[in-house]
Amino acid sequence: MLVPRGFAALMTPGDPCDPLLRQVLPLRAERLTVAGFSRDPVGDTSADLGHGLLRKYAGRALLIATGGCAVHCRYCFRRHFPYASLGLGADRTAVALALIAEDPGISEVILSGGDPLMLDDDRLEELIGRLHAIPHLKRLRIHTRLPVVLPSRITGALCRLLAGTRFATLVVIHANHPHELGTQAENALRRLRGADLAVLNQSVLLRGVNDAVDTLCALGERLFACGVLPYYLHQLDPVEGAAHFAVSDAQALQLGEELRHRLPGYLVPRLVREVPGIGSKIPLAESVRNGDRFL
Ligand code: SF4
């Protein structure tokens, strides 16, 4: 269990059902074996070219920059990812960067993890600098939960580092409940926006956390107040140990429908599912029609 103090301070003391607490509290239910829940729910293993470079989507490559996170989310789809076997040192990164450099079809690199902003500024600057030197790369995307769970990481120096490249840079944060976006997170997000970085949010639909239309509406509105647009609302990836967070597809679709009625279009996230081996996220309604998988 790992939770930054600032994130814990946003919880309501004494409330075992607090939606922030629920995201980080290990429960005995994680030990249950549930059919359909696996250790690699989105096919990361088969997408791994080796050395932590994942190719799933056309024109994009995802680089596992580090295995570290500031928080351990109990529903994380990479909770069983074999980070240790990657070897996270300079050699591994050099091979991954060489693979990117060899493939002119890659125009966007997604730094993921773990959380790439767990790298200190020097290591991040070195990594981005080496990506910079690959001429066919145009966009840099950073998937991070740190602006939400450890907002103090978003310093002016970091914003300058991220903004000071030739890349069109996009920061995709991860917040699931409006209570996660306190004043500190809001200030961090404003610093990112103030550096002219595009910032989007992705959420995971989680039972007992955000499986209510009022909560999702409040999240969209709170994100927008912080200068962030909702991007994806993911149906839970069925990872072993997280079945107690599952929301049925039928309920998820109903929530998506209600959101569309309640919010302006720009605040409605795309309700999607990731299906292993498919080269894009799939709208949940289409996935259900395809009979991909039902929760
Ligand atoms: S911050 Fe992201 S990668 Fe890290 S544990 Fe949470 S969901 Fe997983």
Q: 162-214: per-residue pLDDT in tens?
A: 999 999 999 999 999 999 999 999 999 999 999 999 999 999 999 999 999 99
Residue 2 maps to a domain: no
Q: Is residue 137 part of a domain?
A: yes
Q: What is the pLDDT of residue 278?
A: 85
Residue 114 Cβ < 6 Å to ligand 1: yes
Residue at 48 is within a domain:
yes
The residue to mutate among 24, 71, 112, 245, having the most atoms of ligand 1 within 8 angstroms of its beta carbon, is 71
Give the distance (Å) from ligand 1 centre to CA of residue 129: 25
Residue 236 contacts residue 36 (beta carbons within 8 Å): no
Tokens 């950073």: give the residue: 142
* Between residues 279 and 141, the one the model is more confident about: 141
- Residues 177, 215: contact at Cβ < 8 Å? yes
- pLDDT of the residue at 166: 94
10 in a domain, yes or no?
A: no
Average pLDDT over residues 88-93: 72
Residue 17 counted as domain residue: no
pLDDT at 44: 82
Residue with the smallest CA separation from ligand 1 atom 8 is: 76
> At 113, is the pLDDT very low, low, confident or very high (cuts 50, 70, 90)?
confident
pTM summary value = 0.95
pLDDT band for position 89 (cuts 50, 70, 90): low
Q: For residue 125, give every residue at least 6 positions away whose Cβ sits within 8 Å of its Cβ, in sequence order, or none.
A: 161
Domain count, the chain: 1
Q: Which of 231, 248, 258, 260 is nearest to 284 (CA)?
A: 248
Would you say residue 123 lies in a domain? yes
Query: Judging by DSSP bridges, how do beta strands 270-273 and 282-283 pair with one another?
Result: antiparallel
Whether ligand 1 lies within 6 angstroms of the CB of 72 is answered as yes
Contacts 24+ apart (CB under 8 A), 46-49: 46/276, 46/277, 49/96, 49/99
pLDDT of residue 260: 97
Q: Is 78 in the pocket of ligand 1 (CB under 6 A)?
A: yes
pLDDT at 51: 80
Judge if the beta carbon of residue 177 lies within 6 A of ligand 1: no
Residue 205 belongs to a domain with what CATH number? 3.20.20.70
**Hey, which of 73, 118, 204 would you mutate to test ligand 1's pocket, going by the most ligand atoms within 8 Å of its Cβ?**
73
Whether residue 8 is contained in a domain is answered as no
Q: Is the pLDDT of residue 90 over 80?
A: no
More confident residue, 278 or 164: 164
178 or 113, higher pLDDT:
178
Whether the pLDDT of residue 216 is over 70: the answer is yes
Q: What is the tens place of the pLDDT at every residue in 69-85? A: 999 999 999 999 888 77
Please tell me which residue, 46 or 200, carries the higher pLDDT value: 200
Mean pLDDT score of the chain? 94
Give distance in angstroms: CA of 119 to centre of ligand 1: 15
Closest ligand 1 atom, residue 75 Cα: 7
Determine the structural domain holding residue 213 and report its residue range. 32-289
- Looking from the CA of residue 145, the nearest atom of ligand 1 is 1
For residue 11, tell me if it sits in a domain: no
> How many whole angstroms from 146 Cα to the centroid of ligand 1?
10
DSSP tag of 50: S
Distance 135 CA to ligand 1 centre (A): 30
Q: Is 249 in the pocket of ligand 1 (CB under 6 A)?
A: no
pLDDT at 295 over 80: no
Q: Which band of pLDDT confidence, cut at 50, 70 and 90, is reported for residue 106? A: very high
